[in-house]
Structure 1
Amino acid sequence: MKIVVVGKGGREHALLRALSESPEKPELYCFPGSSAIFQIASPVDADGLESLVAWMAANAIDLCVAGEESYLVKGEGLANLCEKAGIPCWGPHLQSAQLEASKEFAKLFLERHGIPTAKASACETLEKTVAAIGGKFPTVLKFDGLAAGKGVAVCMVEQEATDFLDEVFVQKRFGPGRVLVEDFLTGPEVSIFAAIVDDRYLIFTPARDYKRIGEGDAGANTGGMGAVASRKLIPAELLAEIEKNIVAPTVAGLRKDGLPYRGFLYFGLMLTPEGPKVIEYNCRFGDPECQAVMPLVKGDLAGFCLAGAKGELKPELVSFDEGWSVCVVLASAGYPESSHSGDRISGLDSVGDARVYHAGTLLNADGVWETNGGRVLAVVAGGENRHAAVTAAHAAADGVEFDGMQRRRDIGILNFTD
């Protein structure tokens, strides 16, 4: 089996490693990839979406796995182009990927199908957005488009809203787009992942990520500073409620609206006093949740994804470890406002049984790993219980160093009481 994974970060590194552990030992390729990824997968000779699909067709690729969300909505869409070329793709079509690409599209979908979510209004100008906020804080502002996990601002005070709206409407940091003004919800968050094949689905291991740069959930919002995953993360009865009121209606809604879907769908949820509500959809695995979840997936992930891309859900091909997994992200100096490259990384050979996924690294001419991005590495370890996984992950992360390294030491600890 020949598989191409599309993306270049820590999530794709984790996906590729999980796919490599499938019984068939598939032949792996990646585009655009990275130095670390190319140690387990071969590079693809392409310079864009169209040439990528042409290369896959010419090289008899059996399966394309969409890791990075941007390719799903570029041009005609990765999955759409794969379909035209006769290549099975584990990732949704362009029209379905609007669930992530457009916050307004997703909100209308949720409301249309009666799926619990916060009330919101869409605004196209700075003045209308300020008027919609109406001086009411806290409030949630969402840029209506892809923003690499940084297009959402939870504004506790007016200044935070002012700063975010300046980024959107004045600096145009994320490009053109409207802003959703959304009611502020309270409660713990949880990430649910479903593998969807037309009208069927399988729920993977739940996870929780940590968005803020500082310990105690302080400081600026990031793409994620760590994650914890386990089948025991939330009670079984709560997961059943989420399936009944959110996952199943979403899958039914996709079918009703004529939105073809084969791939992973991420449900970002808030466990409010009134019950679970959808914060957002992502049309792929979360990052860094993927790095925490993948070590808990057992069996034949490659076969599972190939069957799903061809229209057949085969839950018997995979199983899930009942233990815990903790992911600690190591970020570069300046993150998230900026990133730093060229800082030498030491200690990667000291992590023992922990897994290290590379997100922003480069192997230099001397064969030494250097930083090459904001989120640099994810150190992941597991255990039979949460405490064991937390201890193992943080102990492994202690051995890795580079200048300016930022890390949260409360990953897997904050928001837990036991």
Structure 2
Amino acid sequence: MKLLVIGSGGREHAIAFHLKQSSLVQEVYCAPGNPGMQADGIHCLDISEMDFESLIAFAKEEQIDWTFVGPEAPLFGGIVDHFAESGQVAFGPSQAAAQIEASKLFAKRLMEKYHIPTAKYQTFTDQKEALKYLEQQTLPIVIKVDGPAAGKGVTVAETLSAAKNAVIQAFGKEDGNQRIVVEECLEGPEFSIFSMVFNGKVCHSVPARDHKRLEDGDRGPNTGGMGALAPLIDISAEIYQRAIREIVEPTLEAMAKEGTPFNGVLYTGLMLTKEGPKVIEYNARFGDPETQVVLPLLKTDFASLINNLLHGKDTDVEWDEDSTCLGVVLAAEGYPEKPIKGIEFTLNSVNNPALKIYYAGISSLDPICSSGGRIAMVTGYASNKKAAQELVYHYLKEQKLEKIQYREDIGDTV
């Protein structure tokens, strides 16, 4: 098979890399990709992820068997619908189904209608009304911007002034059509589940955990993710199955009933509260950086799994639940607000098969030159969490990383 992956980040590097490991796969292309992917034999294309016409033309010309869409922006733009209309196969949700991530309000109303456990909420289109509502609420409280936010449109406000500031900022960015969701702050350990879905057939991943906060001890601003861990020993098999039974499966059923059946990867972000698991958020695609630690644990051939789903075949999915994969993100100084671009540095070559580097915001590999906030992710695969931590952090401590920031406690906090 010849496959195309859409996107340029660490998630797409992981997707393309693991697809390429399959004996069924002849070539993997990535549009636009990044220079770090090329070292793994992935062909990068000078085509924007939003240039649907050129992507479709390439898929036709190269006789691509199917395309895997990584990031949210092309999904929100309807890339899967465009591919389908052109007779091409793309693995991902339709534009209508992608609303489950694109609109916080769509997701909250869906959960409310179908009694899917989540935080209590109110929505606002008026800044004054939202600020007045905040005066009557207990803290902390969560403010979510309705609409695409690249994983960063959420503020967990510990103080009333922080909550009000988040509301003012949210309304200040738009032209008067802004909507926000204000919801209670759930407490408990977070975890997420990926569900690969096509025409009713579903395969679920092991649970994973993203570390969103910039600094050690889960302090500092929210980011796109500073590291991840999978699987999770604090999420029991019973809780995992309950989340599938009470949340993930009802969500997929609800989407079908609403006339927006979901295909592709449904990311269900969960909080294990005292009442049981509840939904924090949905994404309409693999999460970044969780993908980089989940896919190495997949013992089933990844390309075969997606291919079977696309062709309506049943697939037994096997995961390595006795090992641990842990990853630490290297981010540019100034991330997430104003990351410095053009930082040049090198990373020692990796000779250990248990270590893997997935690249993201770079414009060159030798030397590495940063072009975005998150530059790379170093992952370690080991028999347990402690061994995986030692593997990754021992490697990082040997590097010269000026103007680069990373957390030193990935895997420690819940």
C-alpha displacement at 1:399, in angstroms?
2.8
What residue identity is the alignment partner of 1:150? K
C-alpha displacement at 1:232, in angstroms?
4.0
Q: Which residue of 1 aligns with 2:160?
A: 158
CA contact (8 A) 1:139 1:181 kept: yes
Q: What secondary structure, in the 3-state scheme, does the structure 2 residue paired with 1:302 have? A: helix
Q: Which residue of 2 aligns with 1:368?
A: 367
C-alpha displacement at 1:319, in angstroms?
2.1
What aligned pairs does 1:220-299 form with structure 2 within 5 A after superposition? Answer: 220-230=221-231, 232=233, 234-299=235-300
**TM-aligned CA distance change 1:158 to 1:231, over 3 Å:** closer
C-alpha displacement at 1:393, in angstroms?
1.9
Q: Which residue of 2 aligns with 1:179?
A: 180
Q: What secondary structure, in the 3-state scheme, does the structure 2 residue paired with 1:319 have? A: coil
What residue identity is the alignment partner of 1:290? T
CA contact (8 A) 1:209 1:225 kept: yes
What residue identity is the alignment partner of 2:166? F
Q: Which residue of 1 aligns with 2:87?
A: 86
CA contact (8 A) 1:116 1:277 kept: yes
Deviations 1:42-88 (A, max 9, x none): 233545122212221232111110100110111xx111111112222
C-alpha displacement at 1:41, in angstroms?
2.0
Deviations 1:174-214 (A, max 9, x none): 99531001111111100111111222311112101111111
Q: Distance in 2 between matches of 1:335 and 1:175?
A: 29
CA contact (8 A) 2:343 2:370 kept: yes
Q: Which residue of 1 aligns with 2:151?
A: 149
What residue identity is the alignment partner of 1:262? N
Q: Which moved more, 1:239-248 or 1:198-207?
A: 198-207
What residue identity is the alignment partner of 2:29? Y
What aligned pairs does 1:5-404 form with structure 2 within 5 A after superposition? Answer: 5-39=5-39, 40-44=41-45, 46-47=47-48, 48-74=51-77, 77-136=78-137, 137-172=139-174, 177-230=178-231, 232=233, 234-310=235-311, 312-316=312-316, 318-322=317-321, 323-350=323-350, 352-353=352-353, 354-363=355-364, 367-404=366-403
Q: Distance in 2 between matches of 1:166 and 1:32?
A: 36
CA contact (8 A) 1:270 1:278 kept: yes
Q: Distance in 2 between matches of 1:303 and 1:85?
A: 24
- TM-score norm. by structure 2 comes to 0.94
Q: Distance in 2 between matches of 1:233 and 1:85?
A: 46
Q: Distance in 2 between matches of 1:334 and 1:184?
A: 28
- TM-score norm. by structure 1 comes to 0.93
Gaps of 5+ in 2: none
Q: Distance in 2 between matches of 1:31 and 1:243?
A: 33
What residue identity is the alignment partner of 1:315? T
Q: Distance in 2 between matches of 1:144 and 1:200?
A: 30
Deviations 1:277-334 (A, max 9, x none): 0010001111110111111112321121123234x25323x42112111011111100
Gaps of 5+ in 1: none
Q: Which moved more, 1:286-295 or 1:52-61?
A: 52-61
C-alpha displacement at 1:135, in angstroms?
4.3
CA contact (8 A) 1:351 1:397 kept: no
**TM-aligned CA distance change 1:159 to 1:395, over 3 Å:** same
Number of residues paired by the alignment?
Answer: 408
What residue identity is the alignment partner of 1:55? F
Q: Which moved more, 1:131-140 or 1:101-110?
A: 131-140
What residue identity is the alignment partner of 2:278? K
**TM-aligned CA distance change 1:147 to 1:36, over 3 Å:** same
Percent identity between the two aligned chains: 38
Q: Distance in 2 between matches of 1:187 and 1:266?
A: 19
Q: What secondary structure, in the 3-state scheme, does the structure 1 residue paired with 2:270 have? A: strand
Q: Distance in 1 between matches of 2:310 and 2:338?
A: 37
Q: Which moved more, 1:249-258 or 1:140-149?
A: 249-258
Q: What secondary structure, in the 3-state scheme, does the structure 2 residue paired with 1:329 have? A: strand
Q: Distance in 1 between matches of 2:405 and 2:337?
A: 13
